[in-house]
Amino acid sequence: MRLASPILKRFIYPALAKTGQLRHRSGAGPAIVTYHGVLPRGYVVRDRNADWSMVRPESLRQQLGLLKKHYRIITPGQFLAWCEGETDLPPNSVLITCDDGMQTAVTEMMPLLADMNLSGLFFVTEQALLNQASMLWHEELYLMLLTAPERISLHLPSLGIDEYASGRMEKRDLWWKLIHELSKFESVQRSRLIDIVSWQIHVKPNWKDAYAEDPVLQSRFFTLNLQETRALLEAGMSIGAHSLSHPILSQASSDLAWREIAESKHRIEQALRSRVWAMAYPFGDIGSVGLREVGMVERAGYSCAFVNFGGGFGAPQNIFAMQRVHVTGDMSLSEFEAHVSGLHRSLRQRFFQKLPTLAAAA
Ligand SMILES: [Zn+2]
C-alpha cells in the first residue's frame, strides 16, 4: 500500500472526487469520522508523527463543508437512536467524533460546528473533569523525551526496560515501549514512574512551563478543564468516555481495565449530570482493544464503542467496535472523501493488507 499510496493520493482519489464518483459508493453506513483536535493558529508543526493527529482549522472547515454539502451529517442523538434499534438512519449518514478532549475542541471545533448548525460526539478522559487544564500523560512523555538530551539511557527494572536511545526515531520507539509498560499501572503509580523517567533522562523539573506559559502551545498540548467540557455540552455537543486515564487497555489487568471503562462513564455522568452512552477506546488501534474490552464496555452499560481504524461506508458493523476514519493533518480533501466513502479501506483490504478483524469477529 505504501508504494501505491502516492499514486492513489495524487491522481486516483482527486480524479474520482472531481467527478463525484466517490459519492456513488456511499449509502451503506453510517460512516464515522474522528478528529483529535485542531492545530492552533500560529502553531508551527514540529513533529509530523505527533502533530498530524490534528488537522488545520481550514482543513476542518473544508471537510465539514464537503460532508454537509454532499452527505448527511447526523447528530449524536440520531446515532444513539439507531444504535438502540429505535430508528433507521438516512442514506449517506456521517457522524462526527473527536477524541481526547483537547482545548481546541472548544476553541476551534465547537464554534465551527455550531456555526454550521452541526453537532459532534466528543470523547474525554477524567482530566477534562478537573478544574485545571493538564497534559495527557502519553503526550507529556513524548515531549519529555524530545526535550531530553540527544542520547538518553533508561534503567527501569520494574518495567523490564534497560535501554539507550539516540535521536528522534529511537526515542519514539522507546516512547511506544514505555506507553505499553506504563499502561499496566493506575494513574498515580504511572505518574511516579514518569517522574523517575524524567530524572533519569535529565530533563529540567520545570521543562513543562514553556508549554503552560505560551498560549499557542497550551492550546495544542493541554486538555479541557471542567468548565470547558460543560461548555461543549451546553453548545449542544455530546460527551462520551475515553477511559479514566488513557492507557492501552489491552495492557492493563482485568481489574484496571474494568475500572478505566466503567468508572469513567460513572464519573463523567456525575460531573456533567448527563448520560454517557458511548466510549472510544484509548489509542484505538487493533493492538489496544480485544474481545475482553469489547465485553467490558457492553457490561458497563454503554450503548456503543469506537475503534480508530477502518471506517467509511460499508465498514463492518459491531456497535461495540465501530470502525472510524481517523482524519489526519496530512490528508487532502479528496483523500478524506476516499476514506469516508470506504474506497480506501476496501482497496487496502482487497489488494494490499488484510485489515484487523476484531470488529467482524466480536
Ligand atoms: Zn485518545
pLDDT in tens, 141-195: 999 999 999 999 999 998 999 999 999 999 999 999 999 999 999 999 999 999 9
Q: Which residues pair with 35 in a beta bridge?
A: 98
**Cα(166) to centroid(ligand 1), Å:** 27
Confidence of residue 56 (pLDDT cuts 50, 70, 90): very high
d(CA 98, CA 163) in angstroms, rounded, equals: 35
**Cα(99) to centroid(ligand 1), Å:** 5
Fold of the CATH domain 4-133+238-361: TIM Barrel (3.20.20)
**pLDDT at position 15:** 81
Going by the DSSP 8-state scheme, the letter that residue 224 receives in this structure is -
Residue ranges per structural domain of the chain: 4-133+238-361, 137-207
Contact (CB, 8 A) for 180 and 251: yes
pTM of the model: 0.94
On the question of pLDDT at 86 being above 70, the answer is yes
**Cα(8) to centroid(ligand 1), Å:** 28
**pLDDT at position 214:** 96
**Cα(24) to centroid(ligand 1), Å:** 32
On the question of pLDDT at 124 being above 90, the answer is yes
**pLDDT at position 25:** 60
Going by the DSSP 8-state scheme, the letter that residue 75 receives in this structure is P
Mean pLDDT of all residues belonging to the chain: 92
d(CA 87, CA 89) in angstroms, rounded, equals: 7
Going by the DSSP 8-state scheme, the letter that residue 320 receives in this structure is T
- The answer to which of 37-51, 108-122, 227-241 has the lowest mean pLDDT is 37-51
**pLDDT at position 306:** 97
The three cell numbers locating residue 196: 523517575
d(CA 224, CA 135) in angstroms, rounded, equals: 10
Strand extents, DSSP E, 48-182: 72-73, 93-98, 121-124, 151-156, 161-166
**Cα(7) to centroid(ligand 1), Å:** 30
Pairing status of strand 161-166 against strand 151-156: antiparallel
Confidence of residue 361 (pLDDT cuts 50, 70, 90): very low
**pLDDT at position 359:** 45
Confidence of residue 24 (pLDDT cuts 50, 70, 90): low
Radius of gyration of the chain (CA): 20
On the question of pLDDT at 103 being above 50, the answer is yes
**pLDDT at position 204:** 93
Q: Is 327 exposed, middle or buried (0-12, 13-18, 19+ CB in 10 A)?
A: buried
The three cell numbers locating residue 146: 524530545
**pLDDT at position 356:** 56
**Cα(151) to centroid(ligand 1), Å:** 28
**Cα(20) to centroid(ligand 1), Å:** 33
**Cα(36) to centroid(ligand 1), Å:** 7
**pLDDT at position 360:** 42
On the question of pLDDT at 110 being above 90, the answer is yes
**pLDDT at position 353:** 57
**Cα(282) to centroid(ligand 1), Å:** 5
Angle between helices 167-182 and 137-147 (to 10 degrees): 150
d(CA 316, CA 78) in angstroms, rounded, equals: 19
d(CA 182, CA 163) in angstroms, rounded, equals: 15
d(CA 357, CA 307) in angstroms, rounded, equals: 12
On the question of pLDDT at 126 being above 70, the answer is yes
87-94 long-range contacts, Cβ below 8 Å, gap at least 24?
89/29, 89/30, 91/26, 91/27, 91/29, 92/23, 92/26, 92/27, 92/29, 92/313, 93/29, 93/30, 93/31, 94/29, 94/30, 94/31, 94/32, 94/33, 94/67, 94/340
The three cell numbers locating residue 319: 456497535
Instruction: Look at 271 and 10; give whichever has higher pLDDT.
Output: 271
Which uninterrupted H or E stretch holds 299? helix 291-299
Q: Indicate the residue type of 35.
A: Y
Confidence of residue 49 (pLDDT cuts 50, 70, 90): confident
